[in-house]
Amino acid sequence: MKLGFIGLGIMGTPMALNLVNAGHTVYVSAARNVPAAIQASSAIQCPTPEEVARNAEVVFLMVPDTPDVESVLFGDQGVAAALGGGARKVVVDMSSISPMATKAFAQKINALGADYIDAPVSGGEVGAKAASLTIMCGGAPEVFEKVRPLLEKMGKNITLVGGNGDGQTTKVANQIIVALNIAAVGEALLFASKAGADPAKVRQALMGGFASSRILEVHGERMINRTFAPGFRIKLHQKDLGLALQGARELGLALPQTAGAAQLMQACAANGHADLDHSALVKALELMAAHEVAKA
C-alpha cells in the first residue's frame, strides 16, 4: 500500500521503518530534521503533511501532543487539505492526546470524506523497534479491520476498544497505571536503600513474588543503575497525566494518586529532569529523602 507517516521522533522513526521493511511505499514528513535511518531507507520524504496525505491511502500520525495533532491535520498545508474528492483515505493517529479532542478531530475528518482511527501505543522505544507495541484503538469496526494488517507490522497486542476517543481513553488509563507503578517501585527501593538493604538484591527478591511487575523489572533496574536515558520522557508522561486530571475534572472524578504522581513528575521537571526517562520520577522522592536509591 501507499502509506504516510508524520512524526519521526523516538517512537515514530522505528514504527515508520517497520512499515517500510514490510514492503510498503511510505511517504514521510517530520517537523524537524529527518533521521538518518529514514534517509537511508526507501521512505519518500515530503515537505508537508498535505503532500504526505495526497500520496497515501492511509496516513499515520505520531506526534507529541493534542495541539501538534490539530496542526498536522488542520493547519496550513495539513492533512485535511488533501482529503475528499477521490478514494476514501484513513487517518490513524497513534499519538497520545485528549480523548475529547480526538472525538472532535474524527468528526471533522469524517465530514471531509475520510475515516479516522485513534490508535495510541504503549511499549516505549523498545516496543517500537521490536514491533511489539500494545495498540489501543477507537473507531468503526470496518475501518479498524482495514488497517489492522498495518498495525500488526508495528505491534502485537492490538485491541479495538470502542468508538473514536476510546483508544485515547484507554491510553490515559494505561499511563495512570504506569505512573503509579513507577512511584510505588521508587518508594519501595528508596525505603529499602535508606534502611540499609541492597536495593538490587531487594529488587531481585521482589521479582519472584506478588509485587513482581514489568515496571519493577525494567524501571527498577534503571533506578538502581542510574540509567535514565529517555525511552519515554518525563515531560511526555506529565502531559498524559495532565490529560487524566483534565478528564477527571470534566467527569467529576477524584484521582488523588494520579495527582500525586503528577506532582512528583512536576518536581522532577522543576529540577531540570523533564527530558529524562520517566523512571527518573524516583529523583523527586530522593530529593525529599535526601538519599539516593543507589550511587552512579
Catalytic residues: 171
Q: In this structure, which amino acid lies at residue 13?
A: T
Q: Is 131 left (phi over 0), alpha (psi -120 to 50) or beta?
A: left
How far, in Å, CA of 105 to CA of 59, rounded? Answer: 14
The answer to whether residues 130 and 196 touch, using CB atoms and an 8 Å cutoff, is no
How far, in Å, CA of 58 to CA of 81, rounded? Answer: 15
Residue 123's Cβ-count burial label (10 Å; 0-12, 13-18, 19+) is: buried
Q: In this structure, which amino acid lies at residue 94?
A: M
Print the SS3 string covering 221-250.
HHHHHCCCCCCCEHHHHHHHHHHHHHHHHH
At residue 95, the 3 state secondary structure works out as: coil
Q: How many CA atoms lie within 13 A of 205 on its CB side?
A: 9
User: How many Cβ atoms sit within 10 Å of the Cβ of residue 200?
Assistant: 17
Parallel, antiparallel, or unpaired: how do β-strands 133-138 and 121-122 relate?
antiparallel
Name the phi and psi angles at 256, rounded to 5. Answer: -65, -35
C-alpha cell at 3: 502509506
How far, in Å, CA of 77 to CA of 235, rounded? Answer: 28
